[in-house]
A and B are shown apart, each in its own frame.
Chain A
Amino acid sequence: AMAGPLEPHLEALRRELDPAVLSVLLALLAVAITLLIWRFVQGRRSSRKAVLLLGLCDAGKTLLFARLLTGKYRDTQTSITDSSAVYRVSNDKSANVTLIDLPGHESLRLQFLERFKAAARAIVFVVDSVAFQREVKDVAEFLYQVLVDSTVLKNAPALLIACNKQDVTMAKSAKLIQQQLEKELNTLRVTRSAAPTSLDATGGPAQLGKKGKDFDFSQLPMKVEFVECSARGSKGEEGDADFEGLEKWLAKIA
């Protein structure tokens, strides 16, 4: 019944057009549709598959990266460029994520963050638990810069704050680090928003958390977790690293 009203039109078409031309047109249409579907799928898949390892200099990012990928201990130097590799998640979901280790040096970190922030599906912020008391202001400043970034706020990648170097006895616990960071970020958001407005002010810096209340990590749009780990491992260089929490979290977000 449906074909009925269409038939005269089809007949007219068939009569007007050469069958070769018609087949070429159909082929082109098929190719176009395939391309569209393919690009759509690609875009979805590759847009945010990366897990970024961020942190200050000497926090242990590169060693963590090496341990996760190979399980072996490596002597590392200060990174000056990024390293990326595909990491197969430990449980049997057989999913994989791309781990990207970014340099922590002050002159390089923002540049690399710019480059990779759009592709981030999750961020692991590595903190040196031993030197934390000394470096709390710098840690908070970098974390603040990451959190108010517009791309990060838009995508809201899951955030894990890994308190590294727990094998040393003087390391601070994750709870203490969380409290200190919250206090420091509370102060920072006041001072940063009170800074003179920038040239071509396109609105001030983003407000972190809720106004009026003390800053809390639960006020952020993304999920934040704290975990303790040790890239070196309690048994020294021959043994394994202690980062079950980290691996579980990676499995969860993959």
Chain B
Amino acid sequence: FAVLFLQVGFQKILTLTYVDKLIDDVHKEFRDKYRNEFQQKGTLGLLNGTFDFKDDFMRLLRDAEESSKVRAPTVMKTFEQSLKSQKTVKCMIETRGEKPKEKIKNKKNKSSKKEGIEAVAAPGKASAGDKQPPAAGDKEELTKDEILQKNREEFFKRHMKSGEKSSKSPKPDAHKEKGKKPRVWDLGNSNAKVLDYSNSATNGSAEACPVEEFDPDMALGDRNREPGRLYDLEYESDDEAEEEKVVQNPSKPSAKKGGLGGMFGMLKGLVGSKSLTREDMDPVLEKMKDHLIAKNVAAEIAVQLCESVAKKLEGKVMGTFTTVTSTVKQALQEALVQILQPQRRVDVLRDVMDAQRHRRPYVVTFCGVNGVGKSTNLAKISFWLIENGFSVLIAACDTFRAGAVEQLRTHTRRLNALHPPESHGGRTMVQLYEKGYGKDAAGIAMEAISYARNQGFDVVLVDTAGRMQDNAPLMTALAKLIAVNAPDLVLFVGEALVGNEAVDQLVKFNKALADHSMAQTPRLIDGIVLTKFDTIDDKVGAAISMTYITSKPIVFVGTGQTYCDLRSLNAKAVVAALMKA
């Protein structure tokens, strides 16, 4: 049986170091205490038994808290406690006599403490000479001006190069203290002459310009190149090869050991019931992970999937005649089917009917990167909607790409030819709303929706321009379009050919939509349209990557370029294709 912990609290905010240990302790204690009830009485035992665990839990919690308190963070030592103050003054003296005064001043004057430390820390600096005058024989506290002066000098010294010893001013600083001096600004109160930095022999006279030191080596780089030849791009692959070798070596001996042990383990597994351990599952999981990656599942997703399957199966008792491979495969298959079967199915027709009843159009927005098939699939979906008797308004909000509006106009014409108004009671089933190129997409969408409401269209399909997920201004514009117009369905169009990029695309799209929305619950991607499915044979991993990242369903699958090439996802078939060797 498993114990479920309801953890309320954010692990990142409350960094309680004892939580993991506490959970383990509670688990063990609970199990030991109520072992009998579970094993013998089963479910009825669960229902009938009283589980008075509260006292035990409080005790364990107290123990865990105390154990964490013991390791309190150490308090920083004060200067007096530190070793430095205990060192004899003599060993630190490098210049004449000011150090002991500095030390005494430390104890008296808080503000000079900093310089004191610095002076102690940098005995070798040539600034020693400067420090002398203020310490002219007396142990009094420095005046404020003196302190300021000293700090300023320290500041400047810190920013100068170590080689320079320009701060050595032979004149004692005591001079400067007497009376107020007018401040000399760099830029004011000076005549133009001082400001004239121009060299008389520049700007046009070539011979007056000193000939630069032309270093041909630096400019040309590789002296041994043949003139005129274009070299290939080289890239360092040595590091990667080394890493791979290093990684492979430890895995090889384990594989060997695994070979022998695996044979006996298989026999053992065939006969008796043994519980699965991590070591048993690791080789199988590695193979499954590579298999998944070969089927175009994003690498991080494959790793996470295998991890979660391993966690789920750890400690499970296998039945007779089942091998580790078959158990792991079974679990992986179940996990994949569960990923692909969405939490809530997006039923577009049902929702359109609802919107029809409320006399408002149902708005669908298509977004995605460049070239995935947004416009083509928009046309397919409008064909499907028309077949089911709904009138469609297509809003051409792609105002950037050349030919986007014409493309949609051609589709509209074709669709109207296929479904003429006569066969649908005189109303035009599909119409295009466009405002040309260069305008603001969000504005066009808003106008299209109000036009549809006035004219009584059932569905509005909004086509947006393709954009890369890294392009911040375009992502902002998309987020604005969606936030302002509040569509009923936001569909992300992704092609099935994409590999690891799918993860990045979806994450960044969702993030952009969430960041730029003003509402409490931002509108995120509601569904995925998977396109170009006919171009992949059985490398259907992109479907898994996309649904895993967003946990939203794949609403449509595009399998071609004609209007009838629109399908819905069959989770079992996709998983079967994935697991097929």
Interface residue ranges, A against B (CB under 8 Å): 66, 69-70, 72, 74, 77, 80-81, 83-85, 106-107, 110-111, 137-138, 141, 187-188, 190-192, 194-201
Complex-state Cα separation, A187 to B6, whole angstroms: 39
> B567–A196 contact, CB under 8 A?
yes
> B567–A199 contact, CB under 8 A?
yes
Complex-state Cα separation, A84 to B46, whole angstroms: 11
Give the residues in chain A near B568, CB-CB below 8 Å. 195-199
> A198–B570 contact, CB under 8 A?
yes
Question: Min CB distance, B478 to chain A, in Å?
Answer: 26
> B350–A187 contact, CB under 8 A?
yes
Complex-state Cα separation, A24 to B81, whole angstroms: 96
Interface bin, chain B: 20 to 34
B341 at the interface (CB under 8 A from A): yes
Task: Given A197-B568, A198-B570, A199-B559, verify A191-B44 contact (CB < 8 Å).
Answer: no
B570's partner among A141, A187, A192, A199 (CB-CB below 8 A) is A199
B47 at the interface (CB under 8 A from A): yes
Question: Min CB distance, B56 to chain A, in Å?
Answer: 19
Complex-state Cα separation, A41 to B147, whole angstroms: 102
> B48–A200 contact, CB under 8 A?
no
Give the residues in chain B near A191, CB-CB below 8 Å. 347, 349-350, 353
B454 at the interface (CB under 8 A from A): no
Question: Min CB distance, A88 to chain B, in Å?
Answer: 11
> A70–B48 contact, CB under 8 A?
yes
A69's partner among B2, B44, B350, B566 (CB-CB below 8 A) is B44
Complex-state Cα separation, A190 to B44, whole angstroms: 44
B574 at the interface (CB under 8 A from A): yes
- A72, A84, A196 — which one has the most chain B CB atoms within 10 A of its CB? A196
Interface flags, B24-68, vs A, CB<8A=1, else 0: 000000000000000000111011100000000000000000000
Complex-state Cα separation, A196 to B345, whole angstroms: 14
Complex-state Cα separation, A173 to B556, whole angstroms: 38
> B338–A107 contact, CB under 8 A?
yes
Residues of B319-351 at the interface with A, using a CB-CB cut-off of 8 Å, are 334, 337-338, 341, 343-345, 347, 349-350
Complex-state Cα separation, A199 to B565, whole angstroms: 10
> A70–B345 contact, CB under 8 A?
no
> B43–A141 contact, CB under 8 A?
no
> A66–B47 contact, CB under 8 A?
yes
> B350–A137 contact, CB under 8 A?
yes
> A196–B47 contact, CB under 8 A?
no
B4's partner among A72, A80, A190 (CB-CB below 8 A) is A80
Question: Min CB distance, A81 to chain B, in Å?
Answer: 8
Can you name the residue of chain A whose Cβ is closest to the Cβ of B1? A81
- A69, A77, A197, A199 — which one has the most chain B CB atoms within 10 A of its CB? A199
B557 at the interface (CB under 8 A from A): yes
Give the residues in chain A near B384, CB-CB below 8 Å. 196
Complex-state Cα separation, A188 to B353, whole angstroms: 11
